[in-house]
Amino acid sequence: MLHKDLMEMIVVRGFVSIPPETSVFKAVIVMMEHNIGSLLVMAGKQFLGIVSERDIAWMMSIEEEHPERTNIKSIMTPAERVVTVTRHTNEDECLDLMREHNIRHLVVLEEGQVVGILSIKDLALGYKEDHYRRIRDMEGYLAKLS
């Protein structure tokens, strides 16, 4: 199960989405405005896919398409291929999924609906906070022994 504070942060923070007809150029602007590395592609509440900085970088370096004329739908990872988790997936499983699929973002679903997006950065922060909490607990325990 995802650490409670981490899951609350993900759900409260929400996510940023764009419609599939958005140009790659506009998607990059949205990512820059929000300082994020991926966007969910949605039609209303329907989850269609995800697009990441990596998708855009590859498109720009390999394809002959122009970012202002190319729609996100043509480069996104479609929903049926997106790796998803739930709030009941633990941090280690999330990290294993990211490593196994060579990805940095997992879509968090609740009853089939998107409730957030979990990044490798979120996991690193969660592990860091857990590590510091354990150190504080150990220091408190050792202080009681002296």
pLDDT at 7: 67
- Residue 26 pLDDT exceeds 70: yes
Tokens, residue 69: 């004329």
User: Is the separation of the CB atoms in 33 and 39 below 8 Å?
Assistant: no
Per-residue confidence band for 132, with pLDDT thresholds at 50, 70 and 90? low
Using a pLDDT cut of 90, give the percent of the chain over it. 49
Token pair of 98 as six digits: 């990211």
CA distances in angstroms from 26 to 19, 33, 114, listed in the order given? 11, 11, 22
Residue 78 has pLDDT above 60, yes or no: yes
pTM for this model (two decimals): 0.79
Please report the pLDDT score of residue 121 as a whole number.
Answer: 85
The pLDDT of 56-70, averaged and rounded, is 77
Q: What CATH homologous superfamily does 4-145 map to?
A: CBS-domain (3.10.580.10)
CA angle 127, 119, 26 (to 5 degrees): 155
Domain range annotation of the chain: 4-145
